[in-house]
């Protein structure tokens, strides 16, 4: 037996889907050829989780972290640019 999903929950899911699409569109303008990593990064952001980006120099790891920050218009930059005290 299945339960009906409340309309508020459906609205939240639609909003999340729209936000993901908008952010993904902006990221694809800047990050090219890293679709799987971009998708995984968005999953981490929406889940309020943590991730570790590891790779050889030149894979745009810093750009990958700073671009969603600018898309989301937050004041918090990538962890590598913050001063740890």
DSSP-derived secondary structure for 14-57: HHHHHHHHHHHHHHHHH--S-HHHHHHHHHHHHTT--------T
- Neighbouring C-beta atoms of residue 41, cutoff 10 Å: 20
Q: What is the pLDDT of residue 1?
A: 59
Quote the pLDDT of residue 67: 82
* Domain layout of the chain by residue ranges: 7-81
The pTM for the full model equals: 0.64
For residue 12, give both structure tokens. Answer: 């939240």
Q: Render pLDDT for 34-81 as a digit per residue (tens, 0 to 9).
A: 888 888 888 888 888 888 888 888 878 888 888 877 776 655 555 544
Q: Is the dihedral of CA 2, 20, 40, 53 positive or negative?
A: negative
pLDDT at 73: 63
Q: Mean of the pLDDT values across residues 20-26? A: 87
């Amino acid at each position: 037996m299945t339960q009906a999903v409340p309309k508020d929950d459906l609205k939240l899911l639609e909003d999340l889907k729209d936000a993901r699409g908008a952010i993904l569109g902006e990221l694809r303008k800047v990050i090219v050829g890293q679709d799987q990593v971009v998708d995984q990064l968005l999953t981490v952001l929406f889940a309020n989780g943590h991730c570790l980006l590891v790779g050889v120099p030149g894979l745009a790891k810093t750009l990958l972290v700073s671009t969603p920050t600018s898309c989301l218009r937050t004041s918090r930059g990538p962890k590598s640019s913050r001063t740890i005290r």
